[in-house]
Structures are given as C-alpha cells and as structure tokens.
Amino acid sequence: MAKSIVRDKWLQYRILKESPILAGRLPQTWLLNRPVTLSEMLRRYQSVVLKPRDGRYGHQIRFIRTGKEAKVYHIHREKKTITAAGIRQLYNKLGSITRSSRYIIQIRLRLAQIQGRPFDIRIMVQRTKGAYSPWRVTGSYAKVAAKGYLITNVASRIIPVKAAMKEACIYDQGLSVKAERIAVLAAKRLGRRYPHLRQVGFDIGIDKKQRIWIIEGNYKPDLLPFMLLDNAAMNRRIQWYMTH
C-alpha cells in the first residue's frame, strides 16, 4: 500500500538527508524536543530558526540570535523583535515550543539580498500520473521579503528568477540551472517515499556565498504567485501537469 503524503518538515528533512547528494544542500536541522537543544545550537551557531513541523505560509516561524551583550537573546517574529535576558527567560518567552517536539530548529541561512531584503526561489517540479513518470521543472519565480521581515513568505515582490539574480548582482547564470537540477533530485527522492506525489514547490535559497540550499518542499504549493508573473506558457504547463 502506498504511503500517505505527510506534511512534516522533520520527516521531509530525514527523507532528503538520506541522499548523499542532497544532504549537503540541507541546512543542519534538529528536532526541538528539549530546551537544552536550543541552548546548545545557539552556543554553537549564534543564530537559528524555529519552525513548526506542520507549518504553512511562514506562520509561527521565529528567528533567534545571541546579542552582543552576554546572555542576551533576540527573538524575531514577523516584524517584531523582543529581547530575553538570559536563557531561562528565553525559554519562558517561547513557552512549550522548546519541549513539545512540534518544532524543528535550523541553522539560519544568510540569504542573498535585493535592496537589503532576503529573497529565495520557488521551483515547481511536477510529473504526470504514474509512480515512474519523470519529474520536470514546470515553473519558477523569486520571492523578495517585505520590509522588516526575515522570511519571504510575506513577500513584497514576486519577480522572474532571472530578474532577481540580476538585481542581487549574481551573475553566474549556471546557478539557476543548478538549483533546478537539485529540485528535481529532491522531488525524485520524495517521490520514492510517496508514489502518489505529483508536485512539489521547492523553496530554494542562495546564500551570500552563492551556495544553493533546499529550504523546504511544499506538497500543495500556492499557484497564485505563478499567475502574477503573467507568463502564459508557464501557467499552461503547470495546469497541464495537474490534469495529466
């Protein structure tokens, strides 16, 4: 019996991590099931991200970083930042998050920016019906974070990938092709786990050193941003794969 598709960032990370090729494209991730995990990661990396395992649209994501002052921590959520004086107060402000196993903790990626705002790339990968159908990239766009936000889920602009690369002063044209290849490899890996899976919208990040990262894959990606690009051929291709 085919396995049901589970929307779980922790499970998805472990599936992709099994691939030696993809493992190096994933930001280090841990299950946040005890408070000491958070303190250990902050001591080691100084800046981390907390994400709900089943979250969508960037809801409930928190960025935490150590301050310049000793034992001070800054919690950034949406456009607001609050400060915790010491690790115990940090735990209190986060509440049950640090011990519920409902969240994962990741190293924060230093994404490339456009006018001081981080951006990432959504790559749509689809296949026709049938567990052995080949995966194809059918569309893509770049999301530029809104002012004051660290996540691109709240986007101020949806633009073509080529335009985003130019505005970010990334001139290596092979990067976007490489990102698409990585997305296809990731889709193949997930497709082996879920034979009925037919589409994944991957969020792909390019950091300031122009290294490509798989942020996450979305099993039910929003199609509206693709329509905003006014690319009729791309939208027809996406719709065709959804019905075949």
Domain locations along the chain: 29-107, 111-243
The percent of residues in the chain predicted with pLDDT above 90, rounded, is: 70
Dump pLDDT digits (tens) for 136-181: 999 999 999 988 888 887 667 999 999 999 999 999 989 999 999 9
Dump pLDDT digits (tens) for 17-34: 999 999 999 999 999 888
C-alpha 206/C-alpha 109 separation (Å) is 9
Confidence of residue 239 (pLDDT cuts 50, 70, 90): very high
Three-state SS string across the chain, please? Answer: CCCCCCCCHHHHHHHHHCCHHHHCCCCCEEEECCHHHHHHHHHHHCEEEEEECCCCCCCCCEEEEECCCCCEEEEEECCEEEEEECHHHHHHHHHHHHHCCCEEEEECCCECEECCEEEEEEEEEECCCCCCCCCEEEEEEEEEECCCCCCCCCEEEEECHHHHHHHCCCCCCHHHHHHHHHHHHHHHHHHHHCCCCCEEEEEEEEECCCCEEEEEEECCCCCHHHHHCCCHHHHHHHHHHHHC
CATH number corresponding to 111-243: 3.30.470.20
The more confident residue out of 99 and 64 is: 64
Beta bridge partners of residue 214, listed in sequence order: 204
The percent of residues in the chain predicted with pLDDT above 70, rounded, is: 97
pTM for this prediction: 0.93
